[in-house]
Structure 1
Amino acid sequence: MARGALGFGALAASVLLVPVVGMAALLLAPLGLFALRGCPMCWTIGLLQTVSNGRLRRSCADGHCELSVVRREHDVLSR
């Protein structure tokens, strides 16, 4: 979690601080990529899977894939 927070934080800061600090802010981007140590897209997908926590289900049939929300008994009872 700490590596992800540092990595995504440095990547976001490198883009958001450009108007304030200038192009020197882009030096944070390699730090963010080093902290993630891999594919940022893989980290993003892993983060989304963790957040969804099994509530999303993908099903594919006849060359057509669909993403659906899985209703759990706990979710239905809490409404």
Structure 2
Amino acid sequence: MASSPFASSSVPRHYARGVVGLLAVVAAIAGVALGAPAALALLLVTAVAWRGCPTCWAVGLMQTRERTGCADGDCRAR
């Protein structure tokens, strides 16, 4: 399978990126409610962690799982 800009090197690493993005977006929303100017920076952190949007993250998760599931050459459905 060709390399994808959305996939990660491992599934745990991809989940970690998702958690970082989710925490950053929650903090950004709370920061906007409190009037913190750093909220915009947190949205940038979210975009970088998710490599775009939540859908981009989900597509990357599927691609990462597909790539790691075929690592041993056995790509049958399980």
TM-score normalised by L of structure 2: 0.45
The structure with the largest strand share of the pair is 1
Q: Which has the higher contact order (CA 8 A, sep 6+)?
A: 2
TM-score normalised by L of structure 1: 0.45
Larger Rg: 1
